[in-house]
Chains A and B, each alone.
Chain A
Protein backbone atom coordinates (compact mmCIF):
# COMPACT_ATOMS: atom_id res chain seq x y z
CA UNK A 1 0.00 0.00 0.00
CA UNK A 2 0.92 3.64 -0.09
CA UNK A 3 3.51 4.80 2.40
CA UNK A 4 4.76 8.10 3.65
CA UNK A 5 8.45 8.28 4.51
CA UNK A 6 8.89 10.72 7.35
CA UNK A 7 12.28 11.91 8.57
CA UNK A 8 14.00 12.29 10.85
CA UNK A 9 12.58 9.61 13.17
CA UNK A 10 13.67 11.58 16.21
CA UNK A 11 15.54 14.71 17.09
CA UNK A 12 16.65 16.59 20.12
CA UNK A 13 16.02 20.28 20.39
CA UNK A 14 17.37 23.04 22.52
CA UNK A 15 15.13 25.95 23.28
CA UNK A 16 15.44 28.55 20.59
CA UNK A 17 16.60 26.19 17.84
CA UNK A 18 14.82 25.86 14.49
CA UNK A 19 13.51 22.41 13.58
CA UNK A 20 12.82 20.88 10.20
CA UNK A 21 11.15 17.61 9.22
CA UNK A 22 9.77 16.25 5.99
CA UNK A 23 7.67 13.58 4.35
CA UNK A 24 8.01 12.01 0.94
CA UNK A 25 5.98 9.50 -0.99
CA UNK A 26 5.89 7.75 -4.33
CA UNK A 27 2.18 8.61 -4.55
CA UNK A 28 0.54 11.91 -5.43
CA UNK A 29 -1.58 13.48 -2.69
CA UNK A 30 -4.22 16.17 -3.02
CA UNK A 31 -3.93 17.21 0.62
CA UNK A 32 -1.08 17.21 3.12
CA UNK A 33 -1.62 17.59 6.83
CA UNK A 34 0.70 17.98 9.80
CA UNK A 35 -0.38 16.78 13.24
CA UNK A 36 1.11 16.84 16.72
CA UNK A 37 0.39 14.10 19.22
CA UNK A 38 1.03 14.43 22.94
CA UNK A 39 1.18 11.35 25.22
CA UNK A 40 -2.25 9.89 25.87
CA UNK A 41 -3.96 12.16 23.37
CA UNK A 42 -5.17 12.01 19.82
CA UNK A 43 -3.42 13.85 16.99
CA UNK A 44 -4.16 17.55 16.80
CA UNK A 45 -4.08 19.29 13.45
CA UNK A 46 -1.36 21.93 13.08
CA UNK A 47 -1.44 22.85 9.41
CA UNK A 48 -3.44 21.71 6.36
CA UNK A 49 -2.16 22.18 2.79
CA UNK A 50 -4.49 21.88 -0.19
CA UNK A 51 -2.53 23.09 -3.24
CA UNK A 52 0.79 22.12 -4.78
CA UNK A 53 3.39 24.72 -3.88
CA UNK A 54 1.28 26.14 -1.07
CA UNK A 55 3.24 27.58 1.84
CA UNK A 56 1.26 28.07 5.04
CA UNK A 57 2.20 29.36 8.48
CA UNK A 58 0.62 28.90 11.88
CA UNK A 59 2.53 30.97 14.38
CA UNK A 60 6.07 29.60 14.56
CA UNK A 61 5.15 26.69 12.30
CA UNK A 62 5.53 26.77 8.52
CA UNK A 63 4.67 23.97 6.14
CA UNK A 64 4.83 23.57 2.38
CA UNK A 65 3.08 21.31 -0.09
CA UNK A 66 5.66 20.13 -2.63
CA UNK A 67 5.30 21.06 -6.29
CA UNK A 68 5.27 17.41 -7.33
CA UNK A 69 2.53 16.75 -4.72
CA UNK A 70 4.66 13.90 -3.40
CA UNK A 71 6.30 15.66 -0.48
CA UNK A 72 5.88 18.20 2.29
CA UNK A 73 8.00 19.77 4.99
CA UNK A 74 7.31 21.31 8.38
CA UNK A 75 9.56 23.91 10.01
CA UNK A 76 9.33 25.06 13.60
CA UNK A 77 11.18 28.24 14.40
CA UNK A 78 12.58 29.27 17.78
CA UNK A 79 11.48 26.05 19.50
CA UNK A 80 10.12 26.14 23.04
CA UNK A 81 9.76 23.30 25.59
CA UNK A 82 6.10 22.71 24.79
CA UNK A 83 7.05 21.82 21.21
CA UNK A 84 8.15 18.42 22.55
CA UNK A 85 5.98 15.62 21.22
CA UNK A 86 5.47 13.49 18.14
CA UNK A 87 4.76 15.14 14.80
CA UNK A 88 3.02 13.25 12.03
CA UNK A 89 2.55 14.04 8.40
CA UNK A 90 -0.56 12.68 6.73
CA UNK A 91 -1.84 12.74 3.20
CA UNK A 92 -5.10 12.23 1.42
CA UNK A 93 -5.06 10.55 -1.97
CA UNK A 94 -7.16 11.90 -4.82
CA UNK A 95 -10.50 10.14 -4.89
CA UNK A 96 -10.29 8.81 -1.36
CA UNK A 97 -13.26 9.09 0.96
CA UNK A 98 -11.29 11.11 3.47
CA UNK A 99 -9.17 8.39 5.00
CA UNK A 100 -5.60 9.50 5.65
CA UNK A 101 -2.22 7.86 5.17
CA UNK A 102 0.19 8.69 7.99
CA UNK A 103 3.95 8.84 8.30
CA UNK A 104 5.58 7.08 11.26
CA UNK A 105 6.26 10.31 13.07
CA UNK A 106 9.13 12.51 14.20
CA UNK A 107 9.70 12.52 17.94
CA UNK A 108 10.97 15.82 19.33
CA UNK A 109 12.74 15.66 22.66
CA UNK A 110 14.61 18.23 24.69
CA UNK A 111 18.40 18.06 24.76
CA UNK A 112 19.68 17.12 28.21
Chain B
Protein backbone atom coordinates (compact mmCIF):
# COMPACT_ATOMS: atom_id res chain seq x y z
CA UNK B 1 0.00 0.00 0.00
CA UNK B 2 1.57 3.26 -1.21
CA UNK B 3 -0.58 5.41 1.08
CA UNK B 4 -2.22 7.17 -1.89
CA UNK B 5 -5.84 6.04 -2.18
CA UNK B 6 -7.82 6.25 -5.38
CA UNK B 7 -11.50 5.44 -5.80
CA UNK B 8 -13.20 3.89 -7.57
CA UNK B 9 -10.81 1.26 -8.91
CA UNK B 10 -12.94 0.61 -11.97
CA UNK B 11 -15.57 2.72 -13.70
CA UNK B 12 -17.64 1.93 -16.77
CA UNK B 13 -19.79 4.66 -18.24
CA UNK B 14 -21.40 5.74 -21.49
CA UNK B 15 -20.29 8.40 -23.92
CA UNK B 16 -21.52 11.87 -23.03
CA UNK B 17 -21.60 11.16 -19.32
CA UNK B 18 -19.69 12.81 -16.50
CA UNK B 19 -17.63 11.04 -13.82
CA UNK B 20 -15.62 12.03 -10.78
CA UNK B 21 -12.43 10.31 -9.71
CA UNK B 22 -11.20 10.72 -6.18
CA UNK B 23 -7.71 10.75 -4.69
CA UNK B 24 -6.60 10.90 -1.06
CA UNK B 25 -2.91 11.77 -0.81
CA UNK B 26 -0.44 10.12 1.51
CA UNK B 27 -0.59 11.49 5.03
CA UNK B 28 1.40 14.71 5.25
CA UNK B 29 1.62 15.28 1.49
CA UNK B 30 0.33 18.64 0.31
CA UNK B 31 0.81 18.28 -3.43
CA UNK B 32 -1.37 16.13 -5.70
CA UNK B 33 -0.75 15.29 -9.35
CA UNK B 34 -3.09 13.66 -11.90
CA UNK B 35 -1.86 11.57 -14.82
CA UNK B 36 -3.59 9.76 -17.67
CA UNK B 37 -2.25 6.49 -19.08
CA UNK B 38 -3.77 5.31 -22.35
CA UNK B 39 -3.23 1.80 -23.69
CA UNK B 40 0.46 0.98 -24.11
CA UNK B 41 1.45 4.54 -23.38
CA UNK B 42 3.47 6.25 -20.74
CA UNK B 43 1.80 8.50 -18.24
CA UNK B 44 0.74 11.97 -19.39
CA UNK B 45 0.65 14.73 -16.81
CA UNK B 46 -2.73 16.43 -16.52
CA UNK B 47 -2.75 18.83 -13.58
CA UNK B 48 -1.17 19.54 -10.19
CA UNK B 49 -2.51 21.05 -6.98
CA UNK B 50 -0.65 22.21 -3.91
CA UNK B 51 -2.45 22.97 -0.68
CA UNK B 52 -5.70 23.65 -2.49
CA UNK B 53 -4.34 25.76 -5.33
CA UNK B 54 -3.63 24.80 -8.93
CA UNK B 55 0.13 24.81 -9.52
CA UNK B 56 0.71 23.40 -12.98
CA UNK B 57 -1.27 22.28 -15.96
CA UNK B 58 -0.34 19.75 -18.61
CA UNK B 59 -2.27 18.48 -21.58
CA UNK B 60 -5.62 18.53 -19.83
CA UNK B 61 -8.70 18.81 -21.99
CA UNK B 62 -11.20 21.58 -21.35
CA UNK B 63 -13.80 18.88 -20.60
CA UNK B 64 -11.67 17.84 -17.63
CA UNK B 65 -11.31 19.77 -14.40
CA UNK B 66 -9.95 19.12 -10.96
CA UNK B 67 -9.82 20.58 -7.49
CA UNK B 68 -8.17 19.97 -4.16
CA UNK B 69 -10.24 20.34 -1.02
CA UNK B 70 -9.27 21.70 2.44
CA UNK B 71 -8.72 18.15 3.70
CA UNK B 72 -6.26 17.80 0.77
CA UNK B 73 -8.13 15.10 -1.12
CA UNK B 74 -8.53 15.83 -4.80
CA UNK B 75 -11.15 15.09 -7.41
CA UNK B 76 -10.77 14.87 -11.17
CA UNK B 77 -13.98 15.56 -13.07
CA UNK B 78 -14.34 14.25 -16.60
CA UNK B 79 -17.36 15.41 -18.60
CA UNK B 80 -18.88 14.84 -22.05
CA UNK B 81 -16.94 11.60 -22.11
CA UNK B 82 -15.70 10.17 -25.38
CA UNK B 83 -14.49 6.68 -26.25
CA UNK B 84 -10.93 8.02 -26.38
CA UNK B 85 -11.09 9.02 -22.73
CA UNK B 86 -10.91 5.36 -21.77
CA UNK B 87 -7.67 5.06 -19.84
CA UNK B 88 -6.05 4.54 -16.49
CA UNK B 89 -6.04 7.67 -14.36
CA UNK B 90 -3.37 7.90 -11.69
CA UNK B 91 -2.96 10.25 -8.82
CA UNK B 92 0.37 10.89 -7.16
CA UNK B 93 1.26 12.91 -4.11
CA UNK B 94 4.38 14.47 -2.68
CA UNK B 95 5.20 16.54 0.41
CA UNK B 96 5.74 19.71 -1.61
CA UNK B 97 5.95 20.86 -5.23
CA UNK B 98 9.18 21.32 -7.12
CA UNK B 99 10.76 18.10 -5.93
CA UNK B 100 10.17 14.48 -6.77
CA UNK B 101 11.46 13.35 -3.41
CA UNK B 102 8.74 11.27 -1.78
CA UNK B 103 6.65 11.18 -4.96
CA UNK B 104 4.18 8.29 -4.65
CA UNK B 105 1.53 6.94 -7.01
CA UNK B 106 -1.82 5.41 -6.22
CA UNK B 107 -3.13 2.24 -7.86
CA UNK B 108 -5.22 4.13 -10.38
CA UNK B 109 -8.80 4.24 -11.63
CA UNK B 110 -9.53 2.34 -14.83
CA UNK B 111 -12.15 4.26 -16.80
CA UNK B 112 -13.94 2.53 -19.64
CA UNK B 113 -16.23 4.61 -21.84
CA UNK B 114 -18.65 2.56 -23.94
- Chain A CB within 8 A of B44 CB: yes
The chain A residues found within 8 Å of chain B, CB to CB, are 1, 4, 6, 31, 33, 40-45, 48, 88, 90, 92, 96-105
Secondary structure class of chain B's binding surface, majority of residues? loop
Chain B positions 1 through 45: 1 when the CB is less than 8 Å from some CB of chain A, otherwise 0: 010100000000000000000000000000101010000111111
Let me know if B48 and A98 touch, CB within 8 A.
Answer: yes
Interface size on B, residues (CB 8 A): 32
- Give how many A-B residue pairs fall within 8 Å (CB-CB): 74
A8 to B33, CA, bound (A): 28
Contact A103 B56 (CB under 8 A): no
Tell me the complex Cα distance, A40–B101, Å: 24
Chain B 76-100 interface mask (CB, 8 Å, partner A; 1/0): 0000000000000010101011111
